[in-house]
């Protein structure tokens, strides 16, 4: 007899609920990205600060025990924010490319714990986060994959229609090259099968 697959529940977080789970969310982030645990301590205050920004929203997946296995959040992007200014610098004020930097939600973080990956939980987070944002587009940055095959995050973003806005960009203080990807909102309906869920 085989065990039934674990059930997951998609939830929306307000700033208070997110702050209460921020350490758990950071543990998911560190595991998903393969970072040292010390990274969580360095990012904690930044994540809490993001929760106070205009347009902030967050969603997560909980397993059958109530543990967090996936998390995503974002907020309204705009001039004066570090990420906005860094991307504008990379675009060299090109008018066509810079049009992306108006009326957008910055998808800041999207992570699924490694042992829960491969079940389209990332797509569920993405779709829930990007529903009814009040913005006409979404932007995100993700590490370039170089000579390796594109990973799950890249495949998710391509599958859901994200296009290149800026490639091989180096953010101040980080030697790694990043891609900035974007797409108009709302997202198209899923190609096949049902979405893993909606927030409850």
What pTM does this model have? 0.91
Task: Give the list of residues 6+ apart from residue 133 with CB closer than 8 angstroms, or none.
Answer: 55, 57, 105, 185
pLDDT at 4: 47
Active site residues: 157
Report pLDDT digits (tens) over 152-169. Answer: 999 999 999 999 999 999
Give the three-class secondary structure for 158: helix
Q: How far is CA 63 from the centre of its chain?
A: 19
Query: How many Å apart are CA 61 and CA 197, to the nearest integer?
Result: 10
Report pLDDT digits (tens) over 40-70. Answer: 999 999 999 999 999 999 999 999 999 999 9
């Amino acid at each position: 007899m085989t065990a039934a697959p674990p059930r997951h529940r998609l939830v929306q977080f307000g700033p208070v609920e997110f702050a209460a789970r921020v350490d758990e969310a950071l543990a998911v982030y560190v595991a998903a990205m393969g970072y040292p645990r010390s990274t969580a301590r360095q990012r904690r205050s930044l994540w809490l600060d993001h929760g106070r920004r205009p347009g902030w929203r967050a969603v997560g997946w909980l397993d059958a025990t109530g543990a967090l296995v996936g998390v995503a959040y974002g907020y309204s992007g705009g001039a004066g924010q570090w990420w906005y200014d860094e991307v504008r610098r990379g675009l060299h004020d090109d008018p066509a490319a810079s049009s992306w930097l108006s009326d957008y939600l910055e998808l800041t973080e999207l992570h699924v714990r490694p042992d829960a990956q491969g079940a389209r939980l990332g797509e569920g987070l993405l779709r829930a986060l990007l529903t009814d944002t009040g913005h006409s587009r979404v932007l995100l940055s993700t590490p370039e994959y170089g000579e390796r095959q594109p990973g799950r995050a890249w495949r998710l973003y391509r599958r859901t229609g994200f296009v290149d806005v800026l490639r091989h960009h180096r953010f101040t203080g980080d030697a790694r090259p990043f891609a900035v990807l974007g797409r108009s909102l709302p997202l198209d309906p899923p190609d096949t099968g049902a979405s893993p869920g909606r927030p409850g």
